[in-house]
Amino acid sequence: MGEPAQKKARTERTFLFSSESVNEGHPDKLCDQVSDAVLDACLKDDPKCKVACETVTKDNMVMVAGEITTQAKIDYEKVVRGVVAHIGFDSYVDDLASVDSKGLSDKTCEVLVRINKQSPDIAGGVHVGKDDMDVGAGDQGIMFGYASDETSDCMPLTHSMATRLGKMLTDVRKSGELWWLRPDGKTQVTIEYLQHKDGSVEPKKIHTVVISTQHAEPLKASRTKECAGYTGPDMTAPSMEDMNKEIEEKVIKRTLQEIKLKNGQPALTLYGSHTHLHINPSGKFIIGGPQGDAGLTGRKIIIDTYGGWGAHGGGAFSGKDPTKVDRSAAYICRQMAKSVVSSGLSARCLVQLSYAIGVAKPLSLFVETYGTEKGQLSVDDITNVLKIEFDCRPGAIAQSLALREPKYQDTAAYCHFGREAVTKNGIKFFEWENAKDLKKYASMSSDQVDAALKGSTYLKKWVD
């Protein structure tokens, strides 16, 4: 027998990683927003409603389908048209050669509704006759949350950047600054990272930026015709070359100035002559929205989460009330992961939960810190800290994150995570981004964490 192989020493390495996003006019994202607007309409009058709403769109048609049990009276057609108008889809011409069609019209689109009530089999197993804290999970499934210390909001920079580029495209369109932009659009960002010996990752430079955005006809489209309600002086859309220059200055550079790295510097410091730019690389992009591509709820789950970092359990979020753990448990997983990283217990963190339909306690909790844990704590200790500090039963999640409020349409575009936790009109938006302070555990030993776990009431909340 030869000598046992020595464990390979961890070394630094450089790698490229890419994330993509789409903005609110992408057909799949339009569907997410409609599904969540329906959920909000139900929650507004009936916080205990049970909602599972799917949306599909193609050409000048939007259909909502699913299972909804609510006391609220919902005008589905009004909800659908309101979302379409808010996004900016106000013209449809049934001709792929037309330069006037934006791909969907809030006024003329067909709205189909196929809604039934929740199955009594599911209702009986999940919530009927149960106390709020004992409500079971609405389905089985696995959910993940991720956080990384590379940015001030603990989001991976590739995804934060791709997401915010899409939001900036929308902002400069709606403000009129780049009036010739249209609602549909996609972004993609590749960043060169350095992975340190301790497992943490640091973005070193922005390698590539891809932006494909729907636009009006270059050198021909007029602002008064393109922008409904505009009454100022008329102007003509710029050339494709000038459009691309404007996008670099007013979308890319402006977005990068707003994103803060962990060293306090803006992400713009990683951008420069080394960055490859592909702006509308296919040429023109005039035909878009549901006319250019069909859309479905839940077809952008990686964009909704971490841009390919960490892991994903496969469940979509939009159109689901908080008993659906696909959504609510993914939110608490993010809060757990962000709490670990922002409290300095590790540089990166992935958290997984799993559930069985009708059962309140999670079946399992898994934590991965990629070797980046700090101080004396092991990954097992960090897992125990989360058991002490968090209650992941569906009823408890709904309560701690205030999930029975009508606030979900805001989550349905530009990622559910890395957003600012704010309270508007008494409603808490993105509450899962409020990390818990776990710093007191940083100086503890494993024995002290064990003692704290045994002294807590964790068995009420967790399967041991």
pLDDT tens digit sequence for 225-283? 999 889 999 999 999 999 999 999 999 999 999 999 989 999 999 999 999 999 999 99
Residue 239's SS3 state is: coil
Q: What percent of the chain has pLDDT over 70?
A: 98
Contact 168, 391 (CB under 8 A): no
pLDDT mean over 133-149: 92
- The phi and psi torsions of 337 (rounded to 5 degrees) equal -65, -45
Considering the entire predicted model, what is its pTM?
Answer: 0.95
Q: Hey, what amino acid is at 7?
A: K
pLDDT at 9 over 70: no
Residue 299 per-residue DSSP state: S
pLDDT at 190 over 90: yes
Instruction: Give Dmax (Cα) for the chain.
Output: 86
Hey, which residues does 427 pair with through a beta bridge?
Answer: 424
Distance CA 366, CA 369 (A): 10
> What's the pLDDT at 132?
81
The overall average pLDDT reported for the chain is 94
Strands 201-215 and 422-424: unpaired
> What's the pLDDT at 2?
54
Distance CA 298, CA 309 (A): 18
> What's the pLDDT at 384?
96
> What's the pLDDT at 8?
56
Q: Going from the N-terminus, what domains does the chain have, and what CATH number goes with each? A: 13-20+157-287 (3.30.300.10)
Encode pLDDT of 386-408 as tens digits: 999 999 999 999 999 999 999 99
pLDDT mean over 368-376: 94
pLDDT category, 195, cuts 50, 70, 90?
Answer: very high
Burial grade of 455 (CB within 10 A; 0-12, 13-18, 19 or more): exposed
Q: How many residues does the chain have?
A: 464
Please, what is the angle between helix 379-389 and helix 325-342, to 10°? 120
DSSP alpha helices (H): ranges in 200-355? 223-226, 240-247, 254-258, 289-292, 325-342
Q: Hey, what amino acid is at 418?
A: G
> What's the pLDDT at 297?
98
Contact 320, 39 (CB under 8 A): yes
Token match 């139900």: residue? 42
Question: What is the 3-state secondary structure of 174-197?
Answer: HCCCCCCEEEEEEEEEEEEEEECC
pLDDT at 178 over 60: yes
pLDDT mean over 303-316: 97
Terminal alpha carbon distance of the chain: 41
Contact 303, 22 (CB under 8 A): yes
Residues serving a catalytic function are: 26, 28-29, 54, 67, 186, 285, 293-294, 299-300, 320, 324, 326
pLDDT category, 129, cuts 50, 70, 90?
Answer: low
Measured between alpha carbons, how far is residue 110 from residues 25, 92, 358 in Å? 18, 12, 38
Distance CA 340, CA 181 (A): 40
Encode pLDDT of 424-438 as tens digits: 999 999 999 999 999
Choice between 9 and 125, residue whose per-residue pLDDT is larger: 125
